[in-house]
Structure 1
């Protein structure tokens, strides 16, 4: 269904714009990714409405989606599995963040933030064998991911040390950890091959 919709969008684009036929697969893939991402984001926002915590979804999407855009990481083999995985990751982040809120422990929060940031900074970006990118794009993504994660770690660490309410820092901290885990998985898969 998603691929049919992406094909429909691509056909519509080509009917209205004079574009190179060689770029057709690129546009279709772009529409597939965009539609998949929007469906996941909408679903996460819908789940957060049921949880009565829209802020958690916004914080998760802000950290998880934008950082993974440049840092990369594990990719599910199908769009359906990606949808399920992304929603599951959000639910796990939400539940673990509730533990942080309950215990309000500064040291584990700082350790998790710094460790996650170090992993993301070191491994960014993870190369996807199915969708290779040029060396120039790789370097650009690495620089952006490293800048983003450095800023996020600095802000989160500062907020933790300033004793900011864990309601606002727990989801970003655990989201950062989720990105790090999603980057470790392909590294472990490489070793087992």
Structure 2
């Protein structure tokens, strides 16, 4: 059990012992795992980016990516620690890669929009309470969020959009299976 899960487990037990009428210990543990994972990842990225003079970029990337992920869904890592590490690495890499928006960022923005047009929303059944009848709306919103970068012309947002769009593809799931050793070989 990693530090995120241990912390969430300990806090859930304490909260439940003081307020058993509230949520179950399992629900508390799950919610606290998400909260601790998010706070850990965002804090690490913000602190790192502050010291590398990329704080504004980091804040924009985290906000853009999080909003896009909410509407487009995507692959989930098998553990909270893996999720935290993957999020930290993704945000730091995306925040620190700078290039001219024209033509490369434009291309990434269009490719990301096309990927999401085909794949979004993805893997929302077990992680969202959104009614499936609204999935076509989520697809449109996801694509519009990505296409908003045609206004901003941000290489950081183009990279963040591509990173998130790729997490909605079969390639991401195959990579995850490979990492976890679940190959069919």
TM-score band by shorter chain is: 0.7 to 0.9
Q: CA RMSD in A?
A: 2.9
Aligned equivalents of 1:80 and 1:88: distance in 2? 12
For 1:18 and 1:180, how far apart are their aligned partners in 2? Answer: 41
Displacement, 1:26? 2.2
Number of residue pairs aligned between Structure 1 and Structure 2: 174
Could you tell me how far apart the structure 2 residues matched to 1:82 and 1:187 are?
14
Deviation of 1:77 after TM superposition, in Å, equals 2.4
8 Å Cα contact 2:109/2:147 also seen in 1: no
Using the TM superposition, name which of 35-44 and 68-77 deviates more: 68-77
Matched-pair contact (CA < 8 Å) for 1:125–1:138: no
Cross-structure match for 1:49: 50
**Aligned counterpart, 1:139:** 132
How far, CA to CA, are the matches of 2:95 and 2:131 in structure 1? 31
Secondary structure of 2:78 counterpart: coil
Residue from 122, 128, 146 that aligns with 1:126: 122
CA shift for structure 1 position 74: 2.8
In the TM superposition, structure 1's runs of 4+ consecutive aligned residues that sit over 6 Å from their partners are none
Give the structure, 1 or 2, with the largest relative contact order (CA under 8 Å, sep 6 or more).
1
* Local SS of the residue matching 2:121: coil
Against the structure 1 CA distance between its residues 95 and 19, is the aligned structure 2 distance closer, same or farther, given a 3 Å change threshold? closer
Q: CA–CA distance in 2 between the matches of 1:34 and 1:59?
A: 20
Q: How does 1:153-172 map to 2 (within 5 A)?
A: 153-160=146-153, 169-172=154-157
The answer on whether the counterparts of 1:93 and 1:175 sit within 8 Å (CA) in structure 2 is yes
> Which residue number corresponds to residue 173 of structure 1?
158
After TM superposition, the structure 1 stretch with the greater mean CA deviation from structure 2, 10-19 or 172-181, is 10-19
TM-score by length of 1: 0.74
Partner of residue 25, structure 1: 26
SS for the counterpart of 2:115 is helix
**TM-score scaled by length of structure 2:** 0.77
Unaligned residue ranges in structure 1 (runs of 5+): 161-168
* Structure 2: gaps (5+ residues): 178-182
What do residues 27-47 of structure 1 show as CA deviations (whole Å, max 9, x unaligned)? Answer: 211110111111001111011
Q: Which has the higher helix share?
A: 1
1:8 matched to which residue of 2?
10
